């Protein structure tokens, strides 16, 4: 027997997604011939817009297969800066924009540069789980702040006052958020920024779902009210480029040298072909396609939300962004079906519908919540609801 290799404590502390167990079981069932409706993975079901694909092919044929500058193609940094002018009326220097291997690469750079070992990051519970793992990876720790419907599942100035201590350096919020799809309006962002500044801390805002906003609401960037905040963004969600692994971070210009050094050492540069493809992501042809898809996501939300509520799921805050519904499933729990993970497994086996248990997003009431991703078409969404309703009816008759 080979001798076991000891891994670091930090690696052991980084937990896998519970949803991957659901996904794996779903694939096994599919191999067995079952029809599985996937509402568990946060990935748009649309292909990357064709103009972006065409640009990638053209770039490869031209021989654009070499490294780019570490901070990204200047032409792409300029395009992103133009996006902030177009969308938010902000004059952002391209030098403040760092192109990264996905939003994950951006988060790793930010925490590596600005979060000291042993210090604390405040984030919501529920919240995107990788955020706390990034903090752990740089030998810091995340303080999970329990949030609920009263603050639309977002951090508030009151949370900052209550949970900030001498070891806290940073607060991280997402608007729209994963898993709840809720947003923070301009007034809320300003209040949050002022609360963090009063603690002499740093505010990082995840804006990767910007562009996927509904009900005609204006989705402000934190940079509209706080030019010193740090913004994480990505080409994965609104732009439909998940597999291209391309994101960006906007930082104060004084941080450009350290971001350059870290990027050189950790990644060298973001993928070259993805950068050339993204140059056309902001063109009119691409944006017209993306706007049509945004409208589709909004319609899906408007179909799935009331349908789930009608069969007994509680969703107290209507999400105005992203493509998720975070639902209280307490009505369906019992002594035998006692948590959201067991319920998710039951619905996969009995109904052929894959959803995400709340445990993936934290601990606060996680056993009583599940997440639905409306990343499939309306016909399949309604079919999923019908299957879930039938399975839950069957479950209640057994209890």
pLDDT tens, position by position, 69-112: 999 999 999 999 999 999 999 999 999 999 999 999 999 999 99
pLDDT digits (tens, 9 = 90+) for 217-242: 889 999 999 999 999 999 999 999 99
Model pLDDT, residue 399:
67
Stated as kind and residue range, the H or E segment containing 232 is strand 230-234
* Mean pLDDT by groups of 10 residues along the chain of 399 residues: 88 85 87 94 93 98 98 98 97 98 97 98 96 96 97 98 98 98 98 98 98 94 98 98 97 97 97 98 98 98 98 97 98 93 95 95 97 97 98 87
For residue 284, give Cα distances in angstroms to 207, 218, 254, 273.
Answer: 21, 20, 33, 21
Model pLDDT, residue 115:
98
304 close to 374: Cβ distance less than 8 angstroms: yes
- Counts of helices then strands in the chain (DSSP H, E): 13, 12
Of 350, 352, 318, 383, whose CA–CA distance to 27 is shortest?
Answer: 352
Whole-number Å distance between alpha carbons of 222 and 215: 20
Beta strands at 37-38 and 353-354: parallel, antiparallel or unpaired? parallel
Beta strands at 369-373 and 324-328: parallel, antiparallel or unpaired? antiparallel
17 close to 339: Cβ distance less than 8 angstroms: no
Model pLDDT, residue 22:
85
Whole-number Å distance between alpha carbons of 23 and 368: 20
DSSP one-letter code for 66: S
Report the predicted TM-score, pTM, of the whole model to 2 decimal places.
0.96
DSSP one-letter code for 239: T
C-alpha angle 271/272/274, rounded to 5°? 70
Residues 6 or more apart in contact with residue 98 via CB below 8 angstroms: 71, 72, 106, 109, 248, 249, 250, 251, 256, 259, 260, 263
Q: For the chain, list the domains and their CATH numbers.
A: 14-43+286-394 (3.90.1150.10), 50-282 (3.40.640.10)
Model pLDDT, residue 3:
82
Model pLDDT, residue 306:
98
């Amino acid at each position: 027997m080979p001798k076991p290799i000891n891994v670091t404590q930090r690696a052991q502390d980084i937990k896998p997604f519970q949803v991957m167990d659901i996904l794996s079981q779903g694939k096994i069932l599919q191999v067995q011939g079952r029809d599985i409706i996937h509402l568990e993975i946060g990935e748009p079901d649309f292909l990357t817009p064709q103009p972006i694909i065409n640009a990638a092919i053209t770039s490869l044929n031209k021989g654009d297969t070499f490294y780019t500058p570490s901070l990204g193609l200047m032409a792409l940094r300029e395009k992103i800066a133009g996006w902030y002018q177009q969308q938010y009326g902000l004059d952002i220097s391209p030098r403040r924009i760092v192109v990264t291997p996905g939003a994950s690469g951006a988060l790793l750079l930010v925490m590596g540069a600005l979060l000291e070992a042993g210090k604390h990051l405040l984030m919501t519970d529920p919240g995107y789980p990788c955020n706390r793992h990034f903090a752990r990876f740089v030998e810091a720790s995340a303080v999970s702040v329990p949030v609920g419907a009263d603050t639309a599942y977002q951090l508030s100035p009151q949370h900052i006052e209550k949970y900030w201590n001498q070891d806290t350096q940073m607060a991280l919020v997402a608007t729209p958020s994963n898993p709840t799809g809720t947003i923070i309006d301009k007034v809320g962002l300003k209040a949050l920024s002022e609360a963090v500044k009063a603690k002499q801390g740093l505010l990082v805002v995840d804006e990767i779902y910007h562009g996927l906003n509904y009900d005609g609401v204006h989705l402000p960037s934190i940079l509209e009210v706080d030019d010193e905040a740090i913004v994480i963004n990505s080409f994965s969600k609104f732009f439909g480029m998940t597999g291209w692994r391309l994101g960006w971070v906007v930082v104060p210009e004084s941080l450009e040298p350290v971001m350059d050094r870290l990027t050189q050492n950790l990644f060298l540069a973001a993928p070259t072909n993805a950068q050339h493809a993204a140059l056309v992501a902001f063109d009119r042809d691409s944006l017209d396609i993306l706007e049509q898809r945004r409208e589709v996501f909004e319609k899906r939300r408007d179909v799935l939300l009331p349908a789930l509520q009608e069969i007994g799921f509680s969703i107290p805050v209507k999400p105005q962004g992203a493509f998720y519904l975070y639902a209280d499933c307490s009505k369906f729990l019992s002594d035998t079906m006692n948590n959201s993970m067991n319920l998710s497994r039951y619905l996969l086996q009995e109904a052929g519908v894959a959803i995400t248990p709340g445990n993936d997003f934290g601990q606060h009431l996680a056993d009583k919540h599940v997440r639905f991703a409306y990343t499939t078409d309306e016909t399949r969404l309604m079919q999923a609801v019908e299957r879930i309703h039938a399975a839950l009816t069957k479950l209640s008759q057994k209890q």
